[in-house]
Structure 1
């Protein structure tokens, strides 16, 4: 029997999170460069980000040819463009004065895939990069990461947005995130749930 999906949030009816969706708009624009492997991943957070912030733009691909349209779009902008990716030249997002009209670009993929995408898209070096200084661990306890400083794409986008646009209310972004995580955890058998160290979840 095929599963029935909610026409609004696109999650299975049994996992519908529409009750938690309260769309917002921001002066800062968010663009996601999404690796193809992430598109259908059940635990990917970009779909959640899009629900909370409908203006989010998503480009799927891996190579420079895949992102030709995005390159053209960014080149035509007269607004600051920042790539959210930590490196030796990146600046802390909290130190940037973007006048609430910036464009931030995030790469959605594992650390290995994100690094590969950077190598395949040297045009990204034309833009300054940002990193986050977060004291809290990621609350995405249902998806394991090898690095302790890993954040989900939704978390990275929300925290960067909060730094560049302090007046923005990011609570609705975390509301849909928390709703999905709670549902995933509650649907797990108790023995399995313990593996995800769910006591770290603060939602």
Structure 2
């Protein structure tokens, strides 16, 4: 039997998280450059981010040609644009002074794929890059990461927002995120669930 999906959150009806969705808005705009392999991933947090923050713009691709429209859009902006990606030249998001009308661009993919996308899109070097100084570990306990400083795209977006726009309400973002994580954990067999540190979940 074909699975039925919620027409709002687009999760299976048995995993619907609409009860946790409370859309919010921010002055800072978020743009996601999403690797094609992430689009249909069951644990894709960009889908959740879009539910909580509908103004989020998502561009799917890998090469410069794929992102030609985005490149033109950003080039026409008068607002400051920042790429959220740690490197030797990146600045801590908490140290950036803006007028709360910035645009932040995040790359959604594994570290390897994100790095590959950066290499294929050298135009991104035209913009300053930011990194996060986050004391908290990722709450994305249902997806393993090779790096201890790994955050989901949703978490990185929320924490960057909190740094650039202190008055922004990021609680709705984590509410829908935690609803998905809690559901995934509750659906696991007890023996499997014990492998995950669910005590780190927010809220």
**Range into which the TM-score falls when normalised by the shorter chain:** over 0.9
Structure 1: segments with no counterpart, 5+ residues: none
1:196, CA displacement in angstroms? 2.1
1:199, CA displacement in angstroms? 3.0
1:195, CA displacement in angstroms? 1.9
1:4 aligned onto 2:1: no
1:148, CA displacement in angstroms? 0.2
1:98, CA displacement in angstroms? 1.4
1:198, CA displacement in angstroms? 2.3
Alignment partner of 1:183: what SS?
A: helix
Alignment partner of 1:185: what SS?
A: helix
Q: Is the Cα contact below 8 Å between 2:174 and 2:202 reproduced in 1?
A: no
Q: Which residue of 2 aligns with 1:164?
A: 164
What TM-score does the superposition give when structure 2 sets the normalisation length? 0.99
Mapping of residues 35-50 of structure 1, within 5 Å: 35-50=35-50
Structure 2: segments with no counterpart, 5+ residues: none
What TM-score does the superposition give when structure 1 sets the normalisation length? 0.99
Tell me how far apart the structure 2 counterparts of residues 144 and 12 of structure 1 sit (CA, whole Å).
Answer: 23
1:121 aligned onto 2:124: no
Alignment partner of 1:195: what SS?
A: coil
Tell me how far apart the structure 2 counterparts of residues 52 and 202 of structure 1 sit (CA, whole Å).
Answer: 16
Q: Is the Cα contact below 8 Å between 2:5 and 2:11 reproduced in 1?
A: yes
Tell me how far apart the structure 1 counterparts of residues 178 and 197 of structure 2 sit (CA, whole Å).
Answer: 15
Q: How many residues align?
A: 203
Alignment partner of 2:188: what SS?
A: coil
| Deviation digits for residues 27-65 of structure 1 (CA, Å, limit 9, x no counterpart) | 100000000000000001000000000000000000000
1:171, CA displacement in angstroms? 0.2
| Deviation digits for residues 70-90 of structure 1 (CA, Å, limit 9, x no counterpart) | 000000000000000000000
Q: Which residue of 2 aligns with 1:138?
A: 138
Tell me how far apart the structure 2 counterparts of residues 44 and 9 of structure 1 sit (CA, whole Å).
Answer: 12
Q: Is the Cα contact below 8 Å between 2:90 and 2:128 reproduced in 1?
A: yes
1:194, CA displacement in angstroms? 1.5
**Ranges of 4+ aligned residues in structure 1 off by more than 3 Å:** none
Tell me how far apart the structure 1 counterparts of residues 152 and 175 of structure 2 sit (CA, whole Å).
Answer: 14
Tell me how far apart the structure 1 counterparts of residues 115 and 85 of structure 2 sit (CA, whole Å).
Answer: 9
Tell me how far apart the structure 1 counterparts of residues 160 and 84 of structure 2 sit (CA, whole Å).
Answer: 8
1:151 aligned onto 2:151: yes
Q: Is the Cα contact below 8 Å between 2:141 and 2:196 reproduced in 1?
A: yes
1:5, CA displacement in angstroms? 0.6
Tell me how far apart the structure 2 counterparts of residues 98 and 179 of structure 1 sit (CA, whole Å).
Answer: 32
